[in-house]
Amino acid sequence: MTIDDLIARATLEEVVLRYCTAVDKLADVDDLVSLFTDDAVLDLTGLLLPRYTGHAAIRAFFTQVFADMSHHMHILSNLRVDSRTDESARVLAYVTGMGRSRAGIDIQVYVYYDLTLRKVAGDWKIASFYEAPKLPMPESVGAVHNKSA
Amino acid sequence: MTIDDLIARATLEEVVLRYCTAVDKLADVDDLVSLFTDDAVLDLTGLLLPRYTGHAAIRAFFTQVFADMSHHMHILSNLRVDSRTDESARVLAYVTGMGRSRAGIDIQVYVYYDLTLRKVAGDWKIASFYEAPKLPMPESVGAVHNKSA
Amino acid sequence: MTIDDLIARATLEEVVLRYCTAVDKLADVDDLVSLFTDDAVLDLTGLLLPRYTGHAAIRAFFTQVFADMSHHMHILSNLRVDSRTDESARVLAYVTGMGRSRAGIDIQVYVYYDLTLRKVAGDWKIASFYEAPKLPMPESVGAVHNKSA
């Protein structure tokens, strides 16, 4: 473990935390989308939802999510840098994803993130985003998000 | 991200962790109060509780909390240093606050902390402490803490 | 707080995260056991379970756990390096331990870890592992793990 490792880890963690903050804000979808590379893949098939490619598709998905939800809280933990070069890194983490829909449905999911981040013009961006349940999913997730998909 | 940033972040996180540890110990209120500046503001209006200013008021509040609760656990996550100088820093974090009152009521709240820390004689202390729900609050919180306020 | 402190903290946290990852994988018990020193003590008396000493006993315990459980998720937080030398460190942390047994029983426990790590041939290993409830335990834990003990 070197100082370089520490700085890299903190820099990568900051991007993932910014994602959580942006998705929990339920506003400013542009800020959220700017965390992804132009060609990013947001793969939600692990949650039985679609796979979205590129800013326009990712923006459309989150625009709908922001319209559906009144509260969001994504608790990040157990973040590990699985591998990295100067230009790319694979980051794994656990997330407890919680929220309430405007229809009054409470959601709580226990998932892991499997992310590839890539350096673009000096900034780390999310190039590929995969998540899947770490614990069995409750029924309520499909009730909220499949409707919006 | 520099080494200085890393050291600052770790130092600030340690203060917040010490707060969680002290509040979860449910004993030694002096140790807990020593984490705050003399003129600190503990603003719980986001939880529909009072705002306390200064060591005496903060000590009185936590003395009552420690008398009321048999268990406490404050899980810290998503800590971000929003801004900082050499003498002051704003720190944001998520906290899952849990406990059981001596009357047998279980509490679980999902909140964020918005803290200002200030360097006093070389040590970082909490100068202002604000928390508010990130997810809708359950009924049980008022049942325990409003009674004690 | 020095760079050495940061590197030590990150190195120790990585071992605890590796433990969580290995125990959540519910496979490859050898990988999990390799995180412990040969003479390690896994003391689960705080959960009203036995105390296991040495690799063979620890392997037998986790072999049974892996057979019993279909899902595991150990969320690590509030990690603190309580004290350390170049060869030994005491690490405290909170863990939310969750899982589902193959019999369909869901478990969720809120515990703290009190660990001693020791450097063995250049690698930090867990020499002593103690955990105990931070919040009152639900009934379901004994239902799953006492049966397997």
Kindly report the nearest CA distance between residue A78 and chain C, in angstroms.
6
User: What's the rounded mean pLDDT across residues B100-115?
Assistant: 97
Residue range C19-57, pLDDT digits in tens: 999 999 999 999 999 999 999 999 999 999 999 999 999
- How many Cα atoms within 13 Å fall on the side-chain side of residue B121? 4
Residues C77, B77: C-beta atoms closer than 8 Å? yes
CATH number of the domain within which A88 lies = 3.10.450.50
State the pLDDT at residue A138: 79
Residues C71, A2: C-beta atoms closer than 8 Å? no
Query: Which chain A residues have a beta carbon less than 8 Å from that of C7?
Result: 1-3, 6
- Using CB atoms, which residue from A11, A14, A75 is nearest to B94? A75
Structurally, chain A folds into a number of domains equal to 1
C144: pLDDT strictly greater than 70: no
Q: Is C108 at the interface with chain A, CB within 8 A? A: no
User: What ipTM was predicted for this assembly?
Assistant: 0.93
Residue range A61-115, pLDDT digits in tens: 999 999 999 999 999 999 999 999 999 999 999 999 999 999 999 999 999 999 9
pLDDT tier for residue B98 given thresholds of 50, 70 and 90: very high
Higher pLDDT, A139 or A51: A51
A34: pLDDT strictly greater than 50: yes
Residues A100, B3: C-beta atoms closer than 8 Å? no
Kindly report the nearest CA distance between residue C80 and chain B, in angstroms.
8
Separation between Cα atoms, residue B66 and residue C136, nearest integer Å? 17
Kindly report the nearest CA distance between residue A71 and chain B, in angstroms.
6
CB-based burial, C85-103: b 16+ in 10 Å, e otherwise: eeeebebbbbbbbbbbbee
In 3D space, the residue among C125, C124, C98, C122 whose CA is nearest the CA of residue C109 turns out to be C98
B112: pLDDT strictly greater than 80: yes
Helices (H) and strands (E) in chain B, counts: 5, 6
- Using CB atoms, which residue from A5, A78, A80 is nearest to C75? A78
Residues 71-100, chain C, touching A (beta carbon < 8 A): 71, 73-77, 98-100
Provide the percentage of residues in chain B whose pLDDT is more than 70: 93
Separation between Cα atoms, residue A114 and residue B43, nearest integer Å? 38
State the pLDDT at residue B138: 79
Kindly report the nearest CA distance between residue C67 and chain A, in angstroms.
17
Mean pLDDT of chain B: 94
Mean pLDDT of chain C: 94
Across B8-17, B66-75, C140-149, least confident range: C140-149
Range of the domain at A107: 3-148
State the pLDDT at residue B143: 60
